[in-house]
Structure formats: C-alpha cells, structure tokens
Amino acid sequence: MTEQLDAARQALHAVRDSLRALIDDRETPAAVREALQTEYSDLQTLWRKLDDQELHVAVFGRVSVGKSSLLNALLARDVFATGPLHGVTQRAETDQWTRLGDSPVRVFDTPGIDEIDGQARERLAAQVARRADLVIFVCDADLTQLERSALAQLAEAHRPLLLVLNKADRYSQAEQARLLEQLRAHARGLVQPEHVLLAAADPRPERIVRVGIDGQDVESTRPREPDIAAVAQQVSAILAREGLLLSALNAGLYASEVSDTVATRIAEIRASAAQRVIRGYCLGKGLAVAVNPVPLTDLAAAAALDVTLVFHLSRIYGLPITRHEAGRLVGVISLQLAALMGAVWAVHAASSLLKTLSAGLSVTVTALAQGSVAWYATYLIGQVATRYFVQGRSWGPGGPKRAVHDVLNLVDRESILAEARQALAERLRGRSR
C-alpha cells in the first residue's frame, strides 16, 4: 500500500512538473496564450491542486434531489444552502472538507442539471468531471432519461462514479431494495454495482404515534440524523486507494489535451503569418517586375526577393536558416518548378526578355502579364518552402520533387493569377495617378 502510494506520489510530481513546463514554455507565442486563456488558467489551477495534493469530489444530479444536503452531511456542517424550492444552488461552489492522509479533500456543489439547457449542461458535466477526482451522482428515484444521459456523459471522463439514491427515508425497505436493483441495472456499464448506494442526507423527522392516557392517539415527531455512512465510507476508500494516482492521471490527460491544442494553435498562427508574408512578397515581386525598366535588374531583384521570403518564412517557423541556405533552397525549388511547370516557368524566366521585346506595346498590359507570372512564381516558392519548414526543415520521403508536385496539385493557378492581376492593376493605377 505504501509502495503504491509512493508510486502515485511520484507520478503526481512528474505530472505537476510537466504542467509547470507547459505553463512556462517560452516558445508559446503570446497570441496562443491569449486565445487559450481558459485552458491556461485551468492548467494553473490543476498545478496548484497537484502541488497541494488536493483531491476533489463533486456532486451532480437533478434539482432538489439533495446534492447540497449530501455535501453538508459529508462535511458535518451546513455550508451549502438547501431548501425545498427548485434551483437553490445556482452556481458551482466549493468548500474544503477534510483531510485524508496527507491530502485535503475539497468538495464541489453544482446546480441541478434540469435547471440548465442541453449545451450548458454538457459544458457543466465536462467541467465538473475534469475538475473532480470522484463524482457523486445523486438521484431520489429511478433514473429519468435525462439523468441517464448525464450519467453517460460523466462516465466518458473515466472518473470513478458513485450513484447515490438519496431520500431513502421516503421509501420502505422493500422499495429501497427494488430501487437499488433498478438503479444498478440502469447504470450497468457506467457505475459499478457496489458503487450504487443509499443515503438519507436530510431525513424528515420521524412521526411517533402514542396512545395517550385518555385512549386517544398522540402524535409527536423526533428529528433524525443524516444517514450517509455508506457514501462516506466508499468515498474515503476510493480516494485513499486511488485518489492521488487518479488526480495525477486526470491532470496529465488534461495537460496533454491542452498541449495538443497549443501545438495546433501555433501551427495555425504560423500558417496564417506565412500566408500573409508570402502575399506581401508576391506583391513586391510582381510590382518590381512590372515597373522596373531595366530587364537584368528585374531578375536579380526578383531572385533576391524570393531568397528573403524564404529567409523570413524560416523565422516564422522557428527554424532560422542563413541567407546563403535560403538561396540554395530557392535554387532547389526553382529547379523542380522549372522541370514540372515548363512553359509557365519559362515565361517567368523570359519575362525580362519579353519586356524588352514588347517595349512598344501598351505598358500596362505587358507589365500586368509579367508581374502576375512573377507573383505566381513567388507564391509557389513560398508554398513549397512553407511545406519544407512545416515538416521541420525536411522534404520528407519524396524529396523536393514530391513537395513541388503536391503544391502544384493543390494550387489553383488561374485564381492566383487573377488575384495577382487584380492586386497589381490596383497598385499600378495608384502609381499612375
């Protein structure tokens, strides 16, 4: 037992430290932290919970089944408001309960699940389950459809679940036995049979009828103590046996979900930054080719722009390369593009020649044609280079040829050329004004 506990404690420390590393990771862009504020604050809460070795128990169930009463009975003090009206508890609330070995146990009260609409209920169930190491689902009769689906949702989170039939004092012994049997059957697969229990968190006073000296019946009442011994015993047993390990496991699962989301967000942010940068260079190069009067400088300037684009992209992906390396990369990509696109690439390369030949024609027409081809070429180089950086500075098994081939298949040439012509025409009009 102590060995198991030591192992659990070790696991807990390991998860706690990995949580800290995730929270403090300097590589995570501020924009990602901002977009995932809730997740980061949950991580922080989880970290504190692990650091304090706290265990969390939450109640869940329909309104007025006695959720708050059950917690009060477990705490042996009236902490949570209770009452016959529906919806006494409106928000999730918490209070410290007791200590279990080294671990403080914290209990969480929740509003009744039939007080809120479907989506909010799912959210609440997910939140309760994520936070709790053990969930007590309270009911006061056989399960309704709503209760069964809520129970199923909670079970998905793989927390230990207790199903408690409260208000046992309202039922005869025979009824109690029958209800327990029904509940065990209806919760099969979701709750272990020995985790379906009876309780009377706030039993009504006992009615006592005596025969008076005058022969008349005399009625009086006697208050009854809560009967939650079975629940308290199961809760302690489960938490003592697997509480710390569960707590570490659950936090670990959540942290890995968050770290996946962080990775996805970073990829999204990089992708949109990359696309923005690529378009900026497309425009720059399109304009340079369209308006530059000296043919040879066109090509030199254009190539320099492509190299700078690739250099810039490597920084967006956090895989910085030197200008020289960027130049080599552009060379490799251009070679593949030339091989695969023949005609269009040839036009691109010959654009300066074309420009000399077409000197007498309408400047705007030729400038647009050449500029948009140059735009398209830079666009392709940018997309292929992005692919190379997304794969961690690697071409993957198919080499650069495959990467260029895939990008050409994905890109709709006509729409890129149309976009280029439109953007360049706007700029050129602006210039001539």
Which residues between 78 and 97 bind ligand GTP (CB under 6 A)?
82-84, 86-89
Element (H, E) at 311: helix 295-316
Q: What is the dihedral of CA 115, 120, 123, 129, to 10 degrees?
A: 0
**Which amino acid, 247?**
S
User: Nearest CA to 73 among 99, 102, 109, 103?
Assistant: 109
* CB nearer ligand GTP, residue 82 or residue 250: 82
Choices 152-160, 166-174, 287-295, 321-329 (CB under 6 A): range interacting with ligand GTP:
166-174
Q: Could you say which of ligand GTP, Mg ion, none residue 166 binds, taking C-beta under 5 to 8 angstroms by partner kind?
A: ligand GTP
* CB nearer ligand GTP, residue 83 or residue 318: 83
Which residues between 99 and 158 bind ligand GTP (CB under 6 A)?
111-112
What does the alpha-carbon distance between residue 279 and residue 281 come to, in Å, rounded to a whole number? 5
Residue choice 39, 42, 169, 298 for contact with ligand GTP (CB under 6 A):
169
Phi-psi region of 83 (alpha: psi -120 to 50; beta: other; left: phi over 0): left
What residue ranges bind Mg ion (CB under 5 A)? 67-68, 88-89
Q: Which two tokens stand for residue 54?
A: 């706290």
* Residue 167 binding ligand GTP, by CB under 6 A: yes
Choices 57-65, 205-213, 237-245, 333-341 (CB under 6 A): range interacting with ligand GTP:
57-65
CB of 104 to ligand GTP, least distance (A): 23
* Residue 203 binding ligand GTP, by CB under 6 A: yes
CB of 160 to ligand GTP, least distance (A): 21
What does the alpha-carbon distance between residue 175 and residue 187 come to, in Å, rounded to a whole number? 18
The answer to whether 226 and 200 are in contact (CB under 8 A) is yes
Most distant pair of Cα atoms in the chain: their distance: 130
What does the alpha-carbon distance between residue 89 and residue 81 come to, in Å, rounded to a whole number? 7
* Residue 224 binding ligand GTP, by CB under 6 A: no
Q: What are phi and psi of 99, to 5 degrees?
A: -105, 145
Q: Could you say which of ligand GTP, Mg ion, none residue 399 binds, taking C-beta under 5 to 8 angstroms by partner kind?
A: none
CB of 315 to Mg ion, least distance (A): 55
Residue choice 28, 153, 166, 372 for contact with ligand GTP (CB under 6 A):
166
State the Cα angle at 62 between 57 and 64, rounded to 5°: 95
* CB nearer Mg ion, residue 68 or residue 366: 68
* Residue 165 binding ligand GTP, by CB under 6 A: no
**Strand segments (E) across 73-214:** 93-100, 103-109, 134-139, 161-165, 196-198, 206-211
Q: Could you say which of ligand GTP, Mg ion, none residue 167 binds, taking C-beta under 5 to 8 angstroms by partner kind?
A: ligand GTP
* CB nearer Mg ion, residue 88 or residue 199: 88
Element (H, E) at 275: helix 229-291
Q: Could you say which of ligand GTP, Mg ion, none residue 431 binds, taking C-beta under 5 to 8 angstroms by partner kind?
A: none
Q: Could you say which of ligand GTP, Mg ion, none residue 63 binds, taking C-beta under 5 to 8 angstroms by partner kind?
A: ligand GTP
Q: Which two tokens stand for residue 55?
A: 């265990």
* CB nearer ligand GTP, residue 143 or residue 244: 143
CB of 67 to Mg ion, least distance (A): 5
Provide, for the chain, the percentages of residues in helix, strand and coil under a 3-state DSSP scheme, each rounded to the nearest 5: 65, 10, 25
| Residues binding ligand GTP (CB under 6 A) | 63-69, 82-84, 86-89, 111-112, 166-167, 169-170, 200-204
